[in-house]
Amino acid sequence: MRTEISTLGEFGLIDHLTKNIKLTQPTTKKGVGDDAAVIDNSGKRTLVTTDLLLEGIHFDLTYAPLKHLGYKAAVVNFSDIYAMNGKPQQITVSLGISKRFSVEDMEEFYAGILLACEIYGVDLVGGDTTSSLTGFSISITCIGVADEEKIVYRNGAKDTDLIFVSGDLGAAYMGLQLLEREKSVFAGKVDFQPDFSGKEYILERQLKPEARKDIVQFLAEHEIVPTAMIDVSDGLSSDIIHICKQSNAGCRIFEERLPIDYQTAVMAETFNMNVTTVALNGGEDYELLFTVPLSFHEKMAAISGVHLVGHITKPEDGYYLVTRDGQEMELKAQGWNPIK
């Protein structure tokens, strides 16, 4: 069954997609249905982040299911709030939709967004919908809160601070390479079904990433406030350089300490790629990269799921990767750059 969006119109579509939304955040005083949402943060600092996702640039609907896309579009915004040591609470969703899409397609997309909202405890409180001549476009704004003294910026890293990253690196990029390969191999064929057995992890990291809410909670439980933090969206090399530049510092990252999943390593070998390059520059991992004072070394050892990968140095020492054989190679910001 296919229902044309034109049969509902803009407001009918919005009503249809949002009619069953239940608000869960006590800070949400008014959600969808008025000229603006109303939020009461009771003296806390408000955090706001926006992501724009365009078909053909940020996602390919050949292999990205709409429900997964909705989930990912929401989660990548949540990740930005967690990277400030905050808590995401509300999102607005604005869409540009072409005539290729039906009401049922938009139901699938919204199902993914609402699933992410349910899992992470976030309210969808508004947005906009319009027609598009150039494919599907998605703009999501996320609003979060944090105590003023606990907000973590990118500019607080100090010489001798330890550098940690959560999870593992490069899996999302290798998942993307696998999907792109299968797309080209099966181009023009009808009802093809590639065999992805044994590669589920890297595919999930690309199609359905998670934001590291758990790491922010662990840090709070252990009374650790990082000196600087960023989410790994562009690649570890690009993102640690963001921290270093804004903190007026240098860094040393140790190749042997980079956390890499087995499936990532196998796929990199299959594609004849250097797995260290993949881990440093892949992007879309949405792990948390953060720095803490050297004195927190023992405290950090109690937190599972994070890996010590290097340390901050003086600015004149530059940004370098220390290879397994002890050589120093300059780090370059070679991660994802959509403008290029």
Higher-confidence residue of 297 and 29: namely 297
Closest to 70 measured CA to CA, from 20, 27, 30, 17? 17
Please say if the pLDDT value at position 88 is more than 70: yes
Strand partners, 330: 320
Q: What is the pTM (predicted TM-score) of this model?
A: 0.91
Residue 246, token pair as written in the block: 């804004």
Model confidence band, residue 34 (pLDDT cutoffs 50, 70, 90) = low
In 132-240 the beta strands, taken as DSSP E runs, fall at 137-146, 162-166, 228-231
Which two tokens mark 300?
């950090």
In the predicted model, is pLDDT for residue 49 greater than 90?
A: yes
Nearest to 169 by CA among 269, 78, 268: 268
Pick from 47-56, 181-190, 249-258: least confident: 181-190
CA distance 320 to 234: 18
What average pLDDT does range 154-172 have in this prediction? Answer: 97
Strand ranges inside 67-150, DSSP E: 87-97, 123-131, 137-146
**Paired strand residues for 97:** 131
Question: Stretch 164-170: mean pLDDT, rounded?
Answer: 98
Enumerate the domain spans of the chain. 5-150, 162-330
| Closest by CA position to 81, among listed 212, 273, 240, 227 | 212
**Identity at 43, one-letter amino acid code:** G
What are the two backbone dihedrals, phi and then psi, of residue 139, each rounded to the nearest 5 degrees? -125, 120
Query: Is residue 339 over pLDDT 70?
Result: no
Query: Could you give the 3-state DSSP secondary structure of residue 24?
Result: coil
Handedness of CA 21, 26, 27, 33 (dihedral sign): positive
pLDDT of residue 337: 55
CA distance 93 to 338: 21
pLDDT grade for 188, boundaries at 50, 70 and 90: low
Residue 270's pLDDT band (boundaries 50, 70, 90)? very high
Backbone angles phi, psi at 179, to 5 degrees: -65, -40
For residue 10, pLDDT over 90 is answered with no
> Span 162-330: which CATH code?
3.90.650.10
> What was the pLDDT predicted at 48?
93
Q: pLDDT, tens digit, for every residue of 190-209? A: 666 777 888 999 999 999 99
Instruction: Name the average pLDDT for the chain.
Output: 92
What would the pLDDT profile of 283-327 be if each residue is shown by its tens digit?
Answer: 999 999 999 999 999 999 988 899 999 999 999 999 999 999 999
CA–CA dist 310, 160 (Å, integer): 10
Give pLDDT, residue 278: 96
Rounded mean pLDDT, 142-148: 93
Q: Which residue has the higher pLDDT, 142 or 189?
A: 142
pLDDT number for residue 284: 94
> DSSP states of 23-88 as a string?
---TTEEE-TTSSS-EE--TTSEEEEEEEEEEBTTTB-TTT--HHHHHHHHHHHHHHHHHTTT-EE
Question: How many Cβ atoms are within 10 Å of 202's Cβ, its own excluded?
Answer: 26
> Token pair of 252, please?
């040393």
Instruction: Tell whether domain 5-150 is in CATH 3.30.930.10.
Output: no
CB–CB of 282/335 below 8 Å?
A: yes
